[in-house]
C-alpha cells in the first residue's frame, strides 16, 4: 500500500548546476536544450537557450506519459507562478506544449539549492541563516497575499543564486485558500507535502493555510541553525504520524540565543493557533531579532501584531470581549445611566450569573446588608466602577480552564486579582480606588498574555529571573519576545481603546521608591497609581514567595518601603493586606476558582499572619499593633446576621434622618454589645478645648462609673500612650491580651479598668479624632474578629461619624 502523500516535483527544477546529460541539439518549441539540470519522477529540467530573447532559461519538461493528476499539478504551478512577481520567487516565463508534451519555462538561476549547500555546510551562522530565511519568507508572504500556499516548502525547493539571494520554486502542489468572497479550491483530504517538513495539520489532511508554510519555514530554519534534521525518521508514514503527536525541538547551540530559539520554537508549534499565523509575522520577528534597534513599539511589532490578529479572529483569549469593552466605556461615562449598563451586562448570560455570585459574597452583602438578585440592584448598590472591575475579572478568567497550563494561568490571574484588590483597598476615595484596581491588575496584562499565548516563553522567563545569573523579568521578556511585558500589555490596551490614563498607569515605574508622599493630584493621580500598583504587586509576590515568619518579615519590608510614598503607615498597609486576602478568598470561591494543594497561589487565599508575628515584626516601628487576634475564627452565623441587620437599621436611620445623633450612638453601641457579646462599651467625645476625648456614655457592666475614668489626651507630651496614639492616627485596634502591651497603656486604664481584651474604634472627622468607641470582654483572647466582622463593625462606626457630623 502506497503512502497517501502528494510530494513536490523535481528536486532541482530550475537549478543551474549539477546536470551533465547533453541534449544533442534537441529543440522544444523555440527553445534549444543545452544540458540537463535535474530529473524527477515525472519531469526533467534542462538548461535551454531562447534565441528570440538571447537568454538562457530553465525548461521543465513533463514526461509524455504523465497521468492527468500530474498534468493538473503542472498547470497549477504555471498559474501560481504567473501571478507572483517577486525577487525571491523563481518566475515562470511561459507554459506551452510541443508535440503533446507540456513544458514550463523559468528564469535560469545560476547556482545550487539550499539542500545542496547544507550537505557541505550543515550548520550556518545564526545571522546568515536568519538573513537567508527572511528572503524565503518575503516570497511566502507575497504568495500568501495572493491566497497561495506553497504546501511543499523544503531546502530542495530553495535556489541560491550567485548573488546569495534565495528564490522559492516548485509551486506544483500549491493551493489557494479562501479570501474574502472567493471560493476556496476544493480539498479532498489528501496529505500534501514532504515528510519531515509537513505541518501537523497538513499531516491530518486539513485544508491548506498559510501557517502550514510557516511550520515548514520553521523546520528549515531549525535545520540551518542546528546542523541536522529536526525529525529523524526513515519511514515516511511514521514521520507523518510523529509530527502530529510530538513537538519538534532543535539543539540551539553556538550563536543561537534565547530569543532566536523562542522564535523558531513558536514557528514549530504543533497547535497552529500558537504558531505565527503568516509568513510576514515570522519575518517581522526575525527582522527584529536581526536588527533590534530599528524597531519601535506600535501595533506592527511582530509579537504584538500576532496577538491582536489572534484576538480579533478567535474568541479564545480571556480578555476584553466586545461586551466588556462597552461596559468599560459605560462605566467610565458621566452621562450613561445605571439602566444602560445593566442592559449591557444582561446581554451576556454567563457574565450576568458570575457577577451576581460575586456581589453576593460576604464582602459585598456585609456592606449592602442584603442579598442581591438583579443586575440593576447590583449596579446601584455596588457601583458602576466596581461592576466594571468585576466584569473584567470574570472575562480574564473565562477560558483558562481549557488550557493545558491552566494551573499556571490561575496563579497569574490570582496574583493580578490580589494586587488589584489590595491597591483598591489602599485608596481612600471609592472612585479612585476602582481606578487603582484596574491599574494594578493591568500592570499584569503582559504577563497574562504571555502565559496564555506563549507558555514556553513564559516558562523560560520564569527560569531566567532566578538563580545566580538572574535578569529582570523585562530583560528576559525582551530576549524571548522581542518587547517588554509592559509594551505588550500597553499595546493590547491601546488596541482595545482603554483610557489613556489607564495605559499610563499600566507602566511599571522604574528606580527607587519615592521616600516622600506622592502628591495624589499630580498628573491626574496617575503617578501615585503607578507606584501603588507596583507596591501592591510586590506585596503579592511576597505572599507567593514566602511562608510563615519569612512571609511576615517580607510583607513588613515591602510595607515599610512603600508606606511613605503612599502617605500611609506600615500598619495600615499590613492591615489592608489582611483584608484583601480574605476578600480575594471570597471572590475566588464565588468565581469557582480552585487552586491545587501545594500550589504557591494558595498562600494568597490563606489566613493572614498571626498578630503575634505582626507584633514582633513591627516592634521596631513606633506604632501600635494592628492585629486581628489569632486564630481568626469567625463569629457564629447568628452574630453575623445581627451585625448585618443592625448596620442596615443604623444606615436607614442615618440616611432618613429619623434619629438624633445621641440616639444613633446608642443604637450603634447596643447593636455592637448584643452582636459581639461584649462586657462593656464606652463612647468618648472630644471636649470643648479639643485636648481630650472624655467618656460620655456607657453600656453594660460598670456602665455607670466607667465613662468618668476615660480621658484620652489628644495633645500628649512626650511618648503617647496606646490610646492617644490610636486616636491620633485614626487606627482601629484589637488587643487580644492587654498584658502584651501593658507598658503602653495609660495609668488610669491599668489601675482602674484593666480589661484583659479590648477593641478601640476612633471616630475621625476631616482627619481629626472627634470620638472613640471602646469595647471589652472579661477574658483574654476571647474577642476574635475576622475581616467580615471588622467590615461590619467599621460600618457601624462610620455611621456614627456621619450622625455626629450632622449634629
Residue numbers annotated as active site:
152
Q: How far apart are CA 388 and CA 327, in angstroms?
A: 6
Decide: 94 and 30 in contact? Cβ < 8 Å: no
Counting DSSP H helices and E strands in the chain, the numbers are 31, 19
* DSSP state letters, 424-460: HHT-SSHHHHHHHHHHHHHTTHHHHHHHHH-HHHHHH
Could you give the C-alpha distances from 175 to 93, 209, 613, in angstroms and in order?
A: 20, 9, 69
Helices assigned H by DSSP within 156-249: 200-203, 210-226, 236-245
Residue 473 grid coordinates: 523579568
Query: Which residue's C-alpha cell is 500598583?
Result: 533
Antiparallel, parallel or unpaired: β 92-98 and 101-107: antiparallel
Could you give the C-alpha distances from 31 to 59, 92, 504, in angstroms and in order?
A: 8, 14, 67
Q: How far apart are CA 160 and CA 121, in angstroms?
A: 14
Q: How far apart are CA 801 and CA 590, in angstroms?
A: 32
Smallest CA-to-CA distance from 421 within 461, 503, 361 is with 361
371-394 b/e (C-beta count within 10 Å ≥ 16 → b): ebeebebbbebbbbbbbbbbbbbb
Residue 547 grid coordinates: 511562608
Please confirm whether the linkage preceding 631 is cis (ω < 30° from 0).
yes
Hey, which residues does 684 pair with through a beta bridge? 695, 772
Biggest CA pair distance of the chain: 128
Antiparallel, parallel or unpaired: β 680-686 and 768-777: antiparallel
Q: How far apart are CA 110 and CA 112, in angstroms?
A: 7
DSSP 89: B
DSSP 488: H
Q: Which residues, other chains included, contact 619 with Cβ-Cβ below 8 Å and sequence gap of 6+? A: none
- What is residue 107's three-state secondary structure? strand
Q: How far apart are CA 151 and CA 616, in angstroms?
A: 69
As a dihedral over the C-alpha atoms of residue 729, residue 730, residue 733, residue 738, rounded to 10 degrees, the angle is: 50
111 — phi, psi (to 5°)? 160, -170
The H or E element containing residue 43 is strand 43-50
Q: How far apart are CA 666 and CA 504, in angstroms?
A: 48
Antiparallel, parallel or unpaired: β 768-777 and 757-765: antiparallel
Cβ-based burial of 586 (10 A; exposed 0-12, middle 13-18, buried ≥19): buried
158 — phi, psi (to 5°)? -115, 115
Smallest CA-to-CA distance from 446 within 393, 489, 395, 397 is with 489
Hey, which residues does 764 pair with through a beta bridge? 769
- What is residue 308's three-state secondary structure? helix
698 — phi, psi (to 5°)? -130, 150
Q: Which residues, other chains included, contact 312 with Cβ-Cβ below 8 Å and sequence gap of 6+? A: none
Decide: 676 and 783 in contact? Cβ < 8 Å: yes
Amino acid at each position: 500500500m502506497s503512502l497517501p502523500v502528494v510530494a513536490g516535483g523535481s528536486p532541482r527544477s530550475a537549478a543551474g548546476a549539477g546536470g551533465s546529460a547533453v541534449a544533442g541539439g534537441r529543440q522544444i518549441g523555440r527553445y534549444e536544450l543545452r544540458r540537463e539540470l535535474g530529473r524527477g519522477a515525472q519531469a526533467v529540467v534542462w538548461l535551454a537557450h531562447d534565441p528570440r530573447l538571447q537568454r538562457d532559461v530553465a525548461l521543465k519538461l513533463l514526461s509524455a506519459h504523465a497521468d492527468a493528476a500530474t498534468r493538473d499539478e503542472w498547470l497549477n504551478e504555471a498559474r501560481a507562478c504567473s501571478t507572483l512577481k517577486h525577487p525571491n520567487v523563481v518566475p515562470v516565463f511561459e507554459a506551452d506544449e510541443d508535440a503533446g508534451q507540456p513544458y514550463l519555462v523559468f528564469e535560469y538561476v545560476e547556482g545550487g539549492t539550499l539542500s545542496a549547500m547544507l550537505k557541505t555546510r550543515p550548520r550556518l551562522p545564526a545571522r546568515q541563516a536568519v538573513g537567508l530565511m527572511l528572503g524565503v519568507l518575503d516570497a511566502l508572504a507575497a504568495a500568501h497575499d495572493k491566497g497561495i500556499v506553497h504546501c511543499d516548502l523544503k531546502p530542495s525547493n530553495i535556489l541560491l543564486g550567485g548573488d546569495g539571494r534565495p528564490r522559492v520554486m516548485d509551486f506544483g502542489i500549491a493551493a489557494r485558500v479562501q479570501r474574502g468572497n472567493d471560493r476556496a479550491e476544493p480539498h479532498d483530504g489528501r496529505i500534501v507535502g514532504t515528510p519531515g517538513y509537513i505541518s501537523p495539520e497538513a499531516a491530518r489532511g486539513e485544508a491548506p493555510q498559510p501557517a502550514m508554510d510557516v511550520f515548514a519555514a520553521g523546520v528549515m530554519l531549525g535545520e540551518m541553525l542546528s546542523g541536522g534534521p529536526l525529525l529523524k525518521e526513515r519511514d515516511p508514514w511514521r514521520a507523518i504520524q510523529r509530527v502530529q503527536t510530538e513537538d519538534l525541538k532543535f539543539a540551539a547551540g553556538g550563536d543561537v540565543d534565547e530569543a532566536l530559539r523562542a522564535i523558531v520554537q513558536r514557528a514549530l508549534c504543533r497547535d497552529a493557533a500558537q504558531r505565527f499565523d503568516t509568513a510576514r509575522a515570522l519575518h517581522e520577528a526575525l527582522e527584529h531579532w536581526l536588527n533590534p534597534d530599528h524597531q519601535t513599539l506600535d501595533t506592527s511589532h511582530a509579537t504584538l501584531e500576532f496577538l491582536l490578529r489572534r484576538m480579533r479572529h478567535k474568541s479564545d483569549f480571556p480578555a476584553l470581549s466586545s461586551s466588556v469593552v462597552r461596559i468599560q466605556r459605560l462605566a467610565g461615562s458621566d452621562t450613561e445611566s445605571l439602566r444602560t449598563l445593566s442592559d449591557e451586562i444582561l446581554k451576556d448570560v454567563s457574565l450576568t450569573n458570575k457577577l451576581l455570585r460575586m456581589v453576593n459574597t460576604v464582602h459585598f452583602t456585609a456592606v449592602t446588608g442584603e442579598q442581591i438578585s438583579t443586575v440593576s440592584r447590583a449596579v446601584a448598590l455596588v457601583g458602576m466602577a466596581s461592576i466594571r472591575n468585576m466584569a473584567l475579572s470574570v472575562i480574564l478568567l473565562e477560558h483558562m480552564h481549557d488550557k493545558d497550563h491552566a494551573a499556571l494561568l490561575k496563579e497569574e490571574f490570582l496574583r493580578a486579582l490580589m494586587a488589584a484588590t489590595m491597591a483598591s483597598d489602599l485608596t481612600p476615595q471609592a472612585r479612585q480606588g476602582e481606578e487603582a484596581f484596574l491599574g494594578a491588575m493591568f500592570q499584569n496584562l503582559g504577563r497574562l498574555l504571555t502565559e496564555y499565548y506563549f507558555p514556553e516563553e513564559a516558562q523560560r522567563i520564569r527560569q531566567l529571573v532566578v538563580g545566580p545569573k538572574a535578569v529582570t523579568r523585562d530583560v528576559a521578556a525582551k530576549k524571548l519576545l522581542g518587547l517588554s511585558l509592559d509594551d505588550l500589555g500597553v499595546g493590547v490596551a491601546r488596541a482595545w481603546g482603554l483610557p489613556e490614563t489607564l495605559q499610563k498607569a499600566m507602566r511599571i515605574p522604574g528606580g527607587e521608591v519615592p521616600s516622600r508622599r506622592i502628591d495624589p493630584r499630580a498628573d491626574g493621580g496617575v503617578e501615585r497609581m503607578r507606584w501603588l500598583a507596583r507596591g501592591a504587586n510586590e506585596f503579592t509576590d511576597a505572599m507567593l514567595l514566602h511562608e510563615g515568619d519569612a512571609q511576615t518579615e517580607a510583607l513588613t519590608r515591602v510595607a515599610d518601603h512603600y508606606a511613605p510614598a503612599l502617605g500611609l503607615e506600615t500598619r495600615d498597609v499590613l492591615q489592608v493586606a489582611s483584608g484583601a486576602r480574605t476578600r480575594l478568598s471570597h471572590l475566588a470561591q464565588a468565581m469557582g476558582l480552585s487552586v491545587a494543594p501545594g500550589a504557591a497561589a494558595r498562600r494568597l487565599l490563606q489566613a493572614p499572619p498571626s498578630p503575634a508575628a505582626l507584633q514582633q515584626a513591627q516592634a521596631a516601628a513606633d506604632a501600635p499593633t494592628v492585629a486581628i487576634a489569632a486564630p481568626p475564627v469567625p463569629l457564629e452565623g447568628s452574630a453575623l446576621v445581627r451585625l448585618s441587620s443592625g448596620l442596615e437599621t443604623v444606615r436607614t436611620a442615618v440616611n432618613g434622618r429619623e434619629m438624633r445623633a445621641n440616639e444613633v450612638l446608642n443604637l450603634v453601641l447596643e447593636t455592637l454589645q448584643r452582636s459581639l457579646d461584649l462586657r462593656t462599651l464606652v463612647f468618648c467625645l472630644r471636649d470643648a478645648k479639643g485636648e481630650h476625648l472624655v467618656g460620655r456614655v456607657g453600656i453594660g457592666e460598670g456602665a455607670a462609673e466607667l465613662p468618668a475614668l476615660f480621658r484620652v489626651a489628644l495633645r500628649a507630651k512626650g511618648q503617647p500612650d496606646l490610646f492617644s496614639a490610636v486616636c491620633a492616627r485614626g487606627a482601629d485596634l484589637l488587643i487580644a491580651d492587654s498584658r502584651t502591651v501593658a507598658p503602653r497603656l495609660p495609668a488610669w486604664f491599668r489601675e482602674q479598668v484593666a480589661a484583659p481584651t479590648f477593641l478601640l474604634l476612633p471616630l475621625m472627622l476631616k482627619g481629626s479624632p472627634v470620638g472613640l468607641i471602646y469595647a471589652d470582654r472579661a477574658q483574654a483572647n476571647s474577642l476574635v474578629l475576622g475581616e467580615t466582622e471588622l467590615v461590619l463593625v467599621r460600618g457601624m462606626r462610620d455611621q456614627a461619624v456621619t450622625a455626629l457630623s450632622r449634629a
